[in-house]
């Protein structure tokens, strides 16, 4: 994550230098930590309450594609997130270009240095090539006129935006947030667990790096950060309710049983019995599907195998 935060800071610095702005694309499957990454970065701006000539100072603008994923609705959402609540009343009375011009002016007046648009795939999925080109051109116009870099965050098929040659050349930085895989980089998973342990509210640091705990946690989550987070959050809650000095395998076992009561509990298994599966193919978008419900192909995982086999691959 620190690498991506460095990217954000570099883009903001480029904005201050002026000229043509670089942009960025971050993709990752559901539960890989995209939204969490954005929220954590947003925290460093939480205390900013300055005003710029009657407009709020917004060096960072974070917005989400609205429930009705149209270009005009997205621009209105950006205006609202800039603190321009009255912009919603312009809908139906202003053209898309008028809304775009209003947004550009607000970005300049609010001294915005970086725009991050989350769940971007919702704006481009089920859209024709012509519609996607219109979206790409409008974002290009906003970035050019306001001289603000834009970061697009979304599912893997958010890359559809790169089919526009001009926009593809602007996305100089592209990052994929993968699931954890023991077969490729077990140390990365262990380091992440140790980092989480340091942030837990216990007098004694939890030993999440123990071999059985590492393998049991991976067996439970399959490398998905969201699943891991929910499991650990519940386990920490159980430990705090019991006034425990630290987090133990008993708390993890109870947490797993609450979420998956019908499955084999990995925290109760012996080390040699532990099995896990890893992601095989990330979810993807089939633009040639006959029906919309068939266009989105879900994430595919491999078969469950002994964890010793995954470790041997690494």
Tokens of 159: 């890359």
- What value does the mean pLDDT take over residues 2-23? 89
Q: Residue 97: its pLDDT value, please? A: 73
Determine how many CB atoms are found less than 10 A away from the CB of residue 149.
Answer: 27
Provide the pLDDT for residue 53.
64
Report, as an integer, the average pLDDT of 287-294. 72
Note the residue count of the chain.
314
Residues near 235 by beta carbon (within 8 Å), at least 6 away in sequence: 247, 251, 252, 254, 255
Coil, strand, or helix at residue 201?
Answer: coil
**C-alpha dist (Å) from residue 294 to 27, 237, 288, 302:** 21, 39, 9, 21
Read off the pLDDT of residues 35-54 as tens digits, 9 standing for 90 and up.
999 999 998 887 656 666 66
pLDDT band at 249 (very low <50, low <70, confident <90, very high): very high
Mean pLDDT of all residues in 253-277: 97
**Alpha helical stretches, state H, the chain:** 2-17, 34-42, 71-81, 96-109, 121-124, 129-146, 165-170, 186-198, 211-221, 225-241, 249-259, 307-313
- pLDDT attached to residue 312: 82
2-177: CATH number: 3.40.50.300
**For residues 238 and 289, which has the higher predicted lDDT (pLDDT)?**
238
**Concatenated DSSP letters for 274-314?**
-EE--EEE--EE-TT-SSGGGTEEPPEE---EEHHHHHHH-
Q: Which residue has the higher pLDDT, 283 or 129?
A: 283
Flag whether pLDDT at 310 surpasses 80: yes
pLDDT at residue 254 in the model: 97
Whole-angstrom Cα distance, residue 119 to residue 64? 6
pTM metric for this prediction:
0.88
Asked if the model's pLDDT at residue 183 lies above 90, the reply is yes
* 132-to-83, 150, 204, 248 alpha-carbon distances in Å: 27, 16, 53, 50
User: 247, 234 in Cβ contact below 8 A?
Assistant: no
Which of these, 101, 115, 106, 103, lies nearest to 56 by C-alpha position?
106
Mean of all residue pLDDT scores within the chain: 89
Q: Which of 52, 48, 50 is nearest to 109 (CA)?
A: 52
Given this model, what pLDDT does residue 159 score?
86
> pLDDT value at position 12?
93
pLDDT category at 126 given cuts 50, 70, 90 is: confident
Q: Given this model, what pLDDT does residue 247 score?
A: 97
Residue 171, pLDDT > 60, answer yes
How does residue 296 score in pLDDT terms, banded at 50, 70 and 90? confident
């Amino acid at each position: 994550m620190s690498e991506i935060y460095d990217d954000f800071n570099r883009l903001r610095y480029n904005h201050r230098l002026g000229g043509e702005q670089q942009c960025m694309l971050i993709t990752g499957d559901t539960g890989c930590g995209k939204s969490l990454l954005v929220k954590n970065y947003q925290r460093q701006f939480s205390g900013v309450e300055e005003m710029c000539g009657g407009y709020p100072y917004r060096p960072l603008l974070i917005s989400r594609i609205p429930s009705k994923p149209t270009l005009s609705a997205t621009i209105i959402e950006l205006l609202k997130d800039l603190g321009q609540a009255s912009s919603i009343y312009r809908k139906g009375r202003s053209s898309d270009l008028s809304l775009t011009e209003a947004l550009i002016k607000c970005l300049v007046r609010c001294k915005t240095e970086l725009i991050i648009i989350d769940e971007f795939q919702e704006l481009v999925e089920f859209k024709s090539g012509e519609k996607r080109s219109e979206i790409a051109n409008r974002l290009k116009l906003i970035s050019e006129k306001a001289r603000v870099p834009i970061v697009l965050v979304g599912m893997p098929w958010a890359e559809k935006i790169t089919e526009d040659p001009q926009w593809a050349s602007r996305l100089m930085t592209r990052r994929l947030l993968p699931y954890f895989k023991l077969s490729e980089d077990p140390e990365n998973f262990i380091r992440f667990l140790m980092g989480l342990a340091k942030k837990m509210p216990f007098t004694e640091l939890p030993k999440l790096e123990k071999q059985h705990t590492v393998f049991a946690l991976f067996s439970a989550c399959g490398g998905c950060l969201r699943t891991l987070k929910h499991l650990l959050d519940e386990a920490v809650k159980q430990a705090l309710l019991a006034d425990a000095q630290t987090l133990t395998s008993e708390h993890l076992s109870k947490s797993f049983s609450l979420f998956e009561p019908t499955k084999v509990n990995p925290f109760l298994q012996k080390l040699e019995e532990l099995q896990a599966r890893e992601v095989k193919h990330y979810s993807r978008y089939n633009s040639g599907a006959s029906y919309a419900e068939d266009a989105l192909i879900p994430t595919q995982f491999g078969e469950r195998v002994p964890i010793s086999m995954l470790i041997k691959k690494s």
